[in-house]
Amino acid sequence: MKLKRLNEKTNAFITLKEEVEEAELYFSIKDNICTKDMRTTAGSKMLYNYHPPFDATVVERIRGKGEILGKTSMDSWGFGTFGTNCDFGTPRNPWDLGRSPGGSSSGAAIVASALKERNVALAESTGGSISCPASFCNVFGLTPTYGLVSRWGLISYADSLDKIGLMARDLKDIALVMNYIVGGDERDPTSYQGRVPDYTRCFGEIRGLKVGVPKEYFEHVEEEVKEKVMDGISLLDSLGAEIREVSLKLTKYALASYYIIALSEASTNLARFCGLKYGLSAEMKGEFNEYFSKVRGSGFNQESKRRIILGTFARMAGYRGRYYLKALKVRRLIINEFKEIFSRCDLIAAPTMPILPPKFEEIEELEPIQVYAMDQLTVGPNLAGIPMLSVPIGFSRGLPVGLHLMADHFREDLLFRVGRAIQEHTNYWRKVPEL
C-alpha cells in the first residue's frame, strides 16, 4: 500500500497513521470526526494540534472491524464545494491532478477512489459534501437519513443538517459498514432509536420500482453530464423500473434557504473557538474582545470568516425573522414537496453535480456566489434530511460523472437495491486512476 506516494500526489490525508497493519478492510476518516489516537483539525489551523481525548461514536463502532489509515483532507469546517479551502494544502483529483476532487469530503473520495485495496471512507455531509466528491472521483457516496448515524464526536458545521456517511468503490462494502455504524446513541439525542434492516440483504430486483426524474434538476446542467445521467436512467428503464417525470418547483428556493440556515448554525457553532479551551491561542494581553479577535482573525481563513459573518448577520435582532425564520419555513415546504413526490415514486434520480470536475484555475475565477450555486442539486435533499446515493455512471473526457439517487426518510434499502443493480450492469466503478 503506497499511502505516502498517494498523499504526495493528491494531498488526500491531513494526518497519516505511522504504522498500518495488514487487514481485509481499511478505513479513512474525515478530519472533522474525532479520533483519540490521531489529531483532528476539521481542516483548519484553528485546530492544528488538537488531539481529542475520545473517539466519535462511529469511530468506536468500526474499531476492530478493519485498519484505520488516517484522517482525510477537507475544506475547513466543511466550508467548500471544491476542496480549495483546506488550511493544510489543496487536495487533487486522482483522475486529473489539475482538477478539483470536490468538497468538502475531498480526501475521503480520493482515498476511496485511488486505493486498490478494499477500503471505506467515513465522511460527512451538510449540503452535499459526500455526493459531490463521490461524483467527481468515481465512487459510491451514501449520505444517510438525518439522525440514522450518530453525530456524537463530529465537529459540527450545522447541527440540523450534518450527516455522517460513507464512500467506497464497491457498494457492498458501504452496506457492510452501515451495519456497523447505524444505531441509537444516548449521547446524540437526534439519533434514530428504531429498528433498521441488514443493509447487506437489501440488494434485489428493481423491476416495478417507480423512479421520478425532476425536470428542474436538469436545468443549468452541462450537456456532457446530462447525457451520462440519462444513460443511467435509461439503464434503470431497461431493468424494469418505471420512469416518471416529476416536478420539484421549490428547488429554486433551496439554495438560499440552505445557506441561511447552515451559516446561521455555523456562526453559533464556531463561536466556541476563541483560543481558551483548545486549539490556536495567543499571548493573553489586552481586553477579552481584543484577544478573541486576534485569535479568530488568525485562525479562520477567508472563506470561514465570510460564512461566520453572513451567519451572524442572519441571526441579528431585526433580521432573524426576515431571513432565518423564513428560511426554516421554506425548508418545511421543501420537505413536504419531497414527501409528496415519494407518495407517488419510490426514488428520485438526477445528476449529482451540474458540471464535470473543474480545473483549479477555473475555480479561482469564480465569485463566492457562483461557487455556492454549484450546490444547487444537493442542498435540497440535504435540507429535507432524506438519504441519497451518488452512483458512478460513466466518464466524459476522461472525467467521472455521478447519478444521484434519493429516497424517502429511512429508505436506504431502496438506494442499495437500485445502486447495486447499476453496479452489476456497469464497469465504471471498477476503474482505478493510475497514479
Q: Which of 151, 162, 158, 126 is nearest to 266 (CA)?
A: 158
* 44 catalytically annotated: no
Catalytic residue among 28, 73, 100, 104: 104
Q: Which helix (H) or strand (E) holds 396?
A: strand 388-396
- Whether 118 contacts 82, CB under 8 Å: no
**All 3 cell numbers of residue 63?**
474499531
* 264 catalytically annotated: no
Q: Which of 33, 39, 74, 77 is nearest to 56 (CA)?
A: 33
* Backbone phi, psi, residue 149, to 5°: -115, 130
| Residue 306 CA: distances (Å) to CA of 79, 128, 250, 259, 297 | 10, 19, 26, 12, 12
Sequence-ordered list of residues with C-beta below 8 angstroms from that of 271, at least 6 positions apart, any chain = none
Tell me how far apart the alpha carbons of residues 141 and 373 are, in angstroms, rounded to a whole number. 21
In the chain, % helix, strand, coil (3-state, to 5) comes to: 40, 15, 45
Instruction: Please name the residue that has the C-alpha cell 467521472.
Output: 400
Side-chain half-sphere of 412: how many Cα atoms within 13 Å? 28
**All 3 cell numbers of residue 396?**
466524459
Taken in order 381, 386, 391, 393, the sign of the CA dihedral is negative
**All 3 cell numbers of residue 251?**
428547488
Q: Which of 127, 338, 128, 126 is nearest to 214 (CA)?
A: 338
Catalytic residue among 28, 73, 106, 129: 129
**All 3 cell numbers of residue 350?**
438526477
Taken in order 18, 21, 22, 23, the sign of the CA dihedral is negative
Q: Chain-centre distance of CA 434, in angstroms?
A: 24
Catalytic residue among 28, 30, 150, 257: 30
Instruction: Please name the residue that has the C-alpha cell 431571513.
Output: 323
Tell me how far apart the alpha carbons of residues 84 and 75 are, in angstroms, rounded to a whole number. 6
* 30 catalytically annotated: yes
Sequence-ordered list of residues with C-beta below 8 angstroms from that of 104, at least 6 positions apart, any chain = 43, 74, 75, 78, 79, 80, 81, 83, 85, 126, 129, 133
What is the end-to-end Cα distance of the chain in Å, rounded?
13
Q: Chain-centre distance of CA 203, in angstroms?
A: 23
Residues assigned a catalytic role: 30, 104, 129
